Amino acid sequence: METKDGFIIRPIKEADNAQMARLIRCVIDEFGVSRTGTVYDDPATDCISQSVENANAEYWVIDCDGEILGGCGFYPTEGLPDKCAEIVKYYLSSAVRGKGLGGKILDLIISRAKEAGYTSLYIETFPLFGKAIDMYKGRGFQLLDGQLGNSGHTATSIFMLKTLTD
């Protein structure tokens, strides 16, 4: 999917893994989020393309002339309710924030998860990502009292769920 600004939103390729992992870790450091118990020290962060293979999962990136500037996916995290997937590794470079690309890729992931047969989406995040939390709320995500599933990310403190309806 090409955007009017020349960005391309496309499925991740193995060659994108290192760039996406670097971007995720840079954003974690930029916002001062814990490196422990987060995607920062999650081994799957270094092999996103492989982690979504052969699972009812997808991961898409924002590409600008071969530079990966963001990404977002969904994955059936262990321990989630039936037909629920988790929004995973949703991170954007400061170069694309505020351009509407974050909303575009999130809307795409919501739509693709619904097409994949999921009836709800779950996300974990941090209070420091306030603008993202507002965007989630605007798309129908509701705050939960606690964590669902077993993502292994013990440092997160905001948990949200969206029911996917027609």
The label of the residue with tokens 């890729």 reads 105
> What element of type H or E holds 130?
helix 130-138
d(CA 137, CA 135): 5
Collapsing DSSP states into helix, strand and coil, what is residue 17? helix
Please check whether residue 141 is in contact with residue 161, taking contact to mean a CB–CB distance below 8 angstroms: yes
pLDDT band, residue 54 (cuts 50/70/90): confident
Using the predicted structure, report yes or no on whether residue 9 has a pLDDT greater than 70: yes
Tens digit of each residue's pLDDT (9 = 90 or more) over 83-114: 999 999 999 999 999 999 999 999 999 999 99
8-163 CATH fold? Aminopeptidase (3.40.630)
Mean pLDDT for all residues in the chain: 94
Using alpha carbons only, what angle is made at residue 85 by residues 84 and 91, rounded to the nearest 5 degrees?
A: 150
Q: Is the pTM of this model over 0.85?
A: yes
CB neighbours (10 Å) of residue 135?
15
Spatial distance between the Cα atoms of 17 and 19, rounded to a whole number of angstroms: 6
Q: What pLDDT does 2 receive?
A: 74
Q: Which two tokens stand for residue 75?
A: 């994955």
